[in-house]
Structure 1
Amino acid sequence: MVDFSTVRAIDFHTHAEEPCGCHADDGYDDLQSTMAKYFGAPWSHPPTIAETAAHYRAMNIAAVIFPVDAERETGHRRYDNYEVADACAREADILIPFVSIDPAKGRLGAREARDLVANHGVQGFKFHPTMQSFYPNDRMAWPLYEAIAETGKPALFHTGQTGVGSGMRGGNGMRLKYSNPMYIDDLAVDFPDMPIILAHPSFPWQDEALAVAQHKPNVFIDLSGWSPKYFPEILVRYANTILKKKMLFGSDWPMIAPEKWLDAFDKAPFREEVRPLILKENALRLLGRA
């Protein structure tokens, strides 16, 4: 288990990808390399879970890490949740395992969710509506949400524009409409005890994300995917005031390195008393570790 008393921060948004050559899907490397160019990431294929753990261990930062189950929509085989959980268990001093299940898997996905939490140490769930091609308030997702709510674990949703498919022909089939955070307001009503995280500054729906997080007690925002130097003024203002206990540090590793994000955060106009909340304390409460 992570010794949360000693780590200096908790990165709530990092990605797990299979090692190069371990997947069998034509086009997967093209998708990853195009995304790396979009973010200016200095690699041709993402690091392994073990390599991610080593990087975060050296930084003394704990990391929430997850795959994305988008095989139905993209045609690229998912990184199996059980493999991810096993790999994270070997790095349990620094990694916090989340997993991903396509809501279209229905009751089968719900069974998997319960098992992963009960028997494999999983601490939360990741959704990417654009990659998974579903509206978050589609009732077909309710069996999976019900299972997650039973476990008490958080559900983290990509919101806003995405670097996935950006610049590729037709956006590689990715439809941005699914990731408007207002759709997640319905979940917060029907599952009021399930912690929900809206990932990223939600361009072009930043006001919607702030409204949902302000209105619903169980909704949080992670600040991943953008350098803090580009944050909208209204996001910083809310983070400094009425949503200061709702904001979470997230980098979007390996597209954005935590040290790069933190360097920009140090220079951004956040209040000194708010910085510890964003970097660690809010995450501890969300994970039930406070």
Structure 2
Amino acid sequence: MTGFSIIDAHVHTYGSRKIGRQAMMGSGHTDYGGTVDELLDLMVRGGIEKAVMVNMTPVVEMFDAAVAKLPSDLSGAELAEAKNDIRRQMIGRLQRRNQWTCEMAREHPQLTAFIGLDPSMSDEELVAEIDRRRDEGAGGIKLHPANQRFYPNDRRLWPVYQRAQELDLPIIFHSGAFPAYGGPRPTDHAHPRYFPEVLSAFPHLTVVMAHLAFGDFAACADLARAHPNVFFDCCYIINGTEKSPALNDEEAAAALRLVGTDRVMFGSDYPWFDPVLDAARIQRLPLTDADKRAVLRENALRVLAL
């Protein structure tokens, strides 16, 4: 048990250890598998009272892999029909994962469900999925511009932002660079430059930029000053498994103060990182106890309406 109450605002969960390890693609810094039972045990060990499951489905990656297996001699019409069938299958998998995430949150009140969406869905599909999962208890939405290959200011997402704003559902975005685990990945889609248009167009939408834009602290600070509806989490970039890239404790504390300790939430990115070790590192940083309480718990309570 630690000296501070803690909320982990950024975890991923999977139906089995095997699925979780496959999702990590060898890029994790732990031997964890991302199961709910494993997470709950860690929460007890670390004094973590709540955790936010930001589960998503890599529709683009799965779609590309399935298309690559199609016969090479398909006609244009056959190829189009096959791709449409694959798209429907992938969206079905996304919907089933959302359903499972909501079920886990209902079974375990210390967990909160954030659902995934994909830009390939129609406006009607997007809004219907939000409404359906909101009725099932979802507390927010998770989007990953880099993995899903869209820019935050892509107009295809406008219906999502509008409906989320209407329902007071926060949206957590991956922000900043995306490590090239397992091969080249797009790295520009989640750059901070693509967020101001969204923040201005939807001033009552709560936007959380995960990972502090992968260390672009100056850009985060600029956004925080200009837009009262943007917040951040510090998962990956400030962790306890290993020193954050180029950040010692003094530099990590300075980054939090620069962006604003009232704007940043603790997150672990479990199972990639260890939530117990990550929370312990925040507690060791040269910050005031008030700042630590804000980052570790109070900001998440307020921002995510937990």
Whether TM exceeds 0.5 here: the answer is yes
Among residues 61, 70, 73, which one is paired with 2:58 in the alignment?
70
Question: Could you say which residue in structure 1 is the equivalent of 2:189?
Answer: 178
Q: CA deviation at 1:235?
A: 6.3
Identify unmatched segments of 5+ residues in structure 2: 66-92
Q: CA deviation at 1:47?
A: 2.4
3-state SS of paired residue (1:208): helix
Letter of the aligned partner of 1:68 in structure 2? Answer: M
1:239-285 per-position Cα deviation (integer Å, ceiling 9, x unaligned): 33672211111111111111111222233222332111111111111
Question: Could you say which residue in structure 1 is the equivalent of 2:172?
Answer: 156
1:265 aligns with 2:279: no
3-state SS of paired residue (1:177): coil
1:88 aligns with 2:77: no
3-state SS of paired residue (1:35): coil
1:54 aligns with 2:41: yes
Question: Could you say which residue in structure 1 is the equivalent of 2:293?
Answer: 276
1:4-35 per-position Cα deviation (integer Å, ceiling 9, x unaligned): xxx81111000122315669xxxx82x52321
Question: Could you say which residue in structure 1 is the equivalent of 2:13?
Answer: 16
Identity among equivalent pairs (%)? 25
1:191 aligns with 2:190: no
Could you tell me whether the CA contact under 8 Å between 1:110 and 1:143 is conserved in 2? yes
Letter of the aligned partner of 1:87 in structure 2? Answer: M
Question: Could you say which residue in structure 1 is the equivalent of 2:77?
Answer: none
Matches within 5 A, 1:63-142: 63-75=51-63, 78=94, 80-92=97-109, 94-107=110-123, 108-117=125-134, 119-142=135-158
**How far apart, CA to CA, are the structure 1 residues paired with 2:53 and 2:170?**
13
The change in CA–CA distance for 1:240 and 1:83 in structure 2 (over 3 A counts) is: same
**How far apart, CA to CA, are the structure 2 residues paired with 1:22 and 1:201?**
27
Question: Could you say which residue in structure 1 is the equivalent of 2:31?
Answer: 42
Could you tell me whether the CA contact under 8 Å between 1:50 and 1:91 is conserved in 2? no
Could you tell me whether the CA contact under 8 Å between 1:133 and 1:178 is conserved in 2? yes
Q: CA deviation at 1:70?
A: 2.1
1:27-51 per-position Cα deviation (integer Å, ceiling 9, x unaligned): x82x523212xxx2124xx222233
1:210 aligns with 2:221: yes
Could you tell me whether the CA contact under 8 Å between 1:74 and 1:131 is conserved in 2? no
3-state SS of paired residue (2:27): helix
Could you tell me whether the CA contact under 8 Å between 2:215 and 2:237 is conserved in 1? no
Q: CA deviation at 1:58?
A: 3.8
Letter of the aligned partner of 1:67 in structure 2? Answer: N
Query: TM-score scaled to structure 2, two decimals?
Result: 0.79
Letter of the aligned partner of 2:275 in structure 1? Answer: P
3-state SS of paired residue (1:16): coil
Question: Could you say which residue in structure 1 is the equivalent of 2:267?
Answer: 250
Identify unmatched segments of 5+ residues in structure 1: 1-6
Q: CA deviation at 1:234?
A: 6.9
1:200-248 per-position Cα deviation (integer Å, ceiling 9, x unaligned): 1323633222211221001001011133553487763353367221111
1:146-170 per-position Cα deviation (integer Å, ceiling 9, x unaligned): 111111010000111234x42x23x
**How far apart, CA to CA, are the structure 1 residues paired with 2:269 and 2:17?**
19
Letter of the aligned partner of 2:148 in structure 1? Answer: Q
**How far apart, CA to CA, are the structure 1 residues paired with 2:37 and 2:148?**
26
Question: Could you say which residue in structure 2 is the equivalent of 1:4?
Answer: none
Query: TM-score scaled to structure 1, two decimals?
Result: 0.83
- Alignment size in residue pairs: 266
**Considering only aligned residues, what root-mean-square deviation do their CA atoms show, in Å?**
2.4
Among residues 145, 155, 163, which one is paired with 1:147 in the alignment?
163
